């Protein structure tokens, strides 16, 4: 068999999956994840954190009830599980490397109107669908049932944008952004499971800190990969268990024994020694009849889209200062709701800004703590205590990042 060639995108996902004692993330972590997904769509012959709010983000997909089958562990030698895992990942890649489309059905522990990559294990399941047309460019849609949707259907007379909107009563609100470098968080990898398969195959080959278990129930081969969390938690464990990379995970893949195809997937977080399932794949179908018009049935002309641009002016009062100072300026601006300052600081919040104004305008600052780092987040966190205009007290942990050309601090979460 011809030796498989691997791209930069594979190395990026491997870096996310490989356990390390300490990792210093690059400034464009989120952009690289989407670029990896886009690259996969452009290179079908070589299979391959929008972190807008501090939250618990998890990845999973389902293998059904393993307890219902008789499973046999392969334990011939210490190296055999990793070797066998690599074989199954490679076979799955070969089975789908020429796929033209994919439709994946999921159940996710999330709120339907929250960002696509917001997941919380304390919530119930919300159905979600991922649709992809592989090509150049890759076209895709990620939709929560009766909730938030992201859509990229390529350039048309309206322009070349990624569209995002909220369903339900807020279905006429949305925003658009240039697809170049668009950020879609951990779930960007779900646009092409081949990214994970490729990364897992390389990881199994290197065998760096990942433990494998292979189960064979006669019809399915189930591969379990266990990995420890990445990131620097010397100052705080605040970001522990908030993303695929920043968690102790058990990633479970089920392959059809006859065809080698990936048929089900689950990625659990291990919290207090207990696995928590928060996403389950219900089905993964390749080469379904799918056109750009089939990605979403929403009439985009009924939505008022704002263009989301991240302002990065070097003259901003949020440039060239510490995170603590930036937190103070932002909170003071929220008291009077200074739209010039907040228009820059809250660029990531998009359509949430009017809602935030109704909550936080007129607040009084009681205290601002010392900034700290945690996990892989490429910025700082600042804990603040405020009193809202209606008298309610809140403790906010603001997420601030300045990993842009002009080092302008942007509010990335915490409200």
Rounded to 5°, the CA angle 309-353-392 comes to 150
Residues 118 and 61 in one domain: yes
**pLDDT tens-digit readout, 7-59:** 444 444 445 444 433 223 333 433 443 444 344 334 333 322 333 333 222 22
Helix residue ranges per DSSP H, 291-406: 323-336, 339-345, 353-360
**Whole-number pLDDT of residue 396:** 93
> What are the backbone dihedrals phi and psi of residue 105, each rounded to the nearest 5 degrees, phi first?
-105, 135
Which phi-psi region, left, alpha or beta, contains residue 218 (left: φ > 0; alpha: ψ -120 to 50)? left
Residues 254 and 337 in one domain: no
Instruction: Please say whether the beta carbons of 119 and 279 come within 8 A.
Output: yes
End of a domain among 253, 278, 301? 301
Helix/strand/coil for 250: strand
End of a domain among 268, 301, 334? 301
Residues 317 and 206 in one domain: no
Question: C-alpha distances in angstroms, 163 versus 39, 343, 377?
Answer: 20, 20, 25
Cα–Cα distance measured from residue 197 to residue 215, given in angstroms and rounded to the nearest whole number: 17
Residues 274 and 343 in one domain: no
Q: Residue holding tokens 């809202």?
A: 388
Residues 269 and 369 in one domain: no
* Whole-number average pLDDT of the chain: 76
Residues 157 and 247 in one domain: yes
**Whole-number pLDDT of residue 377:** 86
Q: Model's pTM, two decimal places?
A: 0.67
Burial class, 159, CB count within 10 angstroms (exposed 0-12 / middle 13-18 / buried 19+): exposed
Which phi-psi region, left, alpha or beta, contains residue 202 (left: φ > 0; alpha: ψ -120 to 50)? alpha
**Whole-number pLDDT of residue 231:** 85
Residues 259 and 385 in one domain: no
CATH number at residue 180: 2.50.20.10
Enclosing domain of residue 319: 310-413
Task: Encode 336-350: b = buried (16+ Cβ within 10 Å), e = exposed.
Answer: ebeeebbebbbbbbb
Which candidate, 386, 385, 412, places its Cα nearest to that of 400? 412
Residue 220, domain member (yes or no)? yes
Residues 267 and 323 in one domain: no
Cα–Cα distance measured from residue 145 to residue 381, given in angstroms and rounded to the nearest whole number: 32
**Whole-number pLDDT of residue 35:** 47
End-to-end CA distance of the chain: 53
pLDDT beneath 70: ranges in the chain: 1-80, 168-171, 181-189, 206-208, 308-315, 350-351
- In total, how many domains does the chain have? 2
End of a domain among 284, 301, 318? 301
Residues 154 and 58 in one domain: yes
**Whole-number pLDDT of residue 2:** 33
**Whole-number pLDDT of residue 54:** 33
Residue 2, domain member (yes or no)? no
Residue 238, domain member (yes or no)? yes
Residues 252 and 392 in one domain: no
Instruction: Please say whether the beta carbons of 260 and 94 come within 8 A.
Output: yes
Residues 72 and 111 in one domain: yes
CATH number at residue 403: 3.10.450
Residue 189, domain member (yes or no)? yes
Residues 89 and 209 in one domain: yes
Pair of tokens at residue 349: 């919040």
- CA 144, 145, 146, 150 torsion-angle sign: positive
């Amino acid at each position: 068999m011809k030796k498989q060639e691997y791209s930069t995108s594979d190395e990026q996902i491997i870096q996310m999956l490989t356990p390390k004692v300490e990792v210093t993330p690059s400034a464009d972590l989120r952009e690289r994840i989407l670029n990896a997904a886009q690259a996969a769509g452009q290179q079908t012959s070589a299979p391959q954190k929008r972190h807008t709010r501090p939250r618990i983000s998890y990845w999973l997909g389902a293998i059904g009830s393993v307890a219902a089958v008789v499973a046999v562990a392969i334990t011939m030698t210490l190296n055999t599980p990793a070797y066998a895992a690599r074989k199954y990942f490679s076979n799955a890649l070969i089975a789908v490397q020429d796929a033209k489309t994919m439709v994946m059905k999921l159940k996710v522990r999330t709120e339907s109107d929250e960002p696509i990559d917001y997941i919380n294990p304390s919530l119930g399941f919300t159905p979600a669908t991922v649709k992809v047309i592989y090509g150049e460019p890759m076209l895709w849609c990620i939709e929560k049932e009766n909730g938030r949707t992201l859509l990229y259907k390529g350039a048309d007379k309206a322009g070349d944008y990624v569209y995002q909107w909220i369903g339900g009563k807020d279905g006429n609100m949305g925003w658009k952004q240039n697809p170049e470098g668009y950020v879609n968080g951990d779930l960007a990898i779900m646009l092409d499971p081949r990214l994970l398969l490729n990364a897992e195959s390389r990881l199994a080959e290197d065998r760096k800190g990942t433990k494998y278990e292979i189960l064979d129930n006669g019809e399915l081969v189930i591969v379990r990969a266990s990995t420890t969390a990445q990131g620097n938690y010397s100052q705080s464990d605040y970001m522990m268990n908030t993303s695929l990379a920043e968690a102790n995970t058990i990633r479970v893949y089920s392959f059809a024994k006859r065809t080698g195809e990936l048929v089900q997937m689950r990625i659990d977080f291990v919290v207090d020694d207990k696995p928590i399932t928060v996403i389950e794949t219900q089905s993964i179908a390749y080469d379904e009849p799918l056109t750009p018009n089939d990605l979403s049935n929403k009439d985009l002309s009924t939505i008022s889209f704002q263009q989301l641009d991240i302002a990065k002016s070097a003259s901003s009062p949020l440039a060239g200062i510490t995170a603590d100072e930036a937190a103070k300026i932002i909170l003071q601006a929220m008291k009077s709701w200074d739209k010039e300052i907040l228009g820059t600081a809250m660029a990531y919040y998009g359509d949430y800004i009017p809602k935030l104004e109704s909550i936080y305008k007129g607040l009084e600052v009681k205290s601002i703590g010392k900034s700290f780092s945690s996990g892989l987040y490429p910025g700082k966190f600042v804990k603040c205590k405020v009193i809202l205009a209606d008298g309610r007290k809140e403790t906010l942990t603001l997420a601030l990042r300045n990993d842009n050309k002009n080092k302008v601090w942007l509010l990335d979460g915490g409200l």
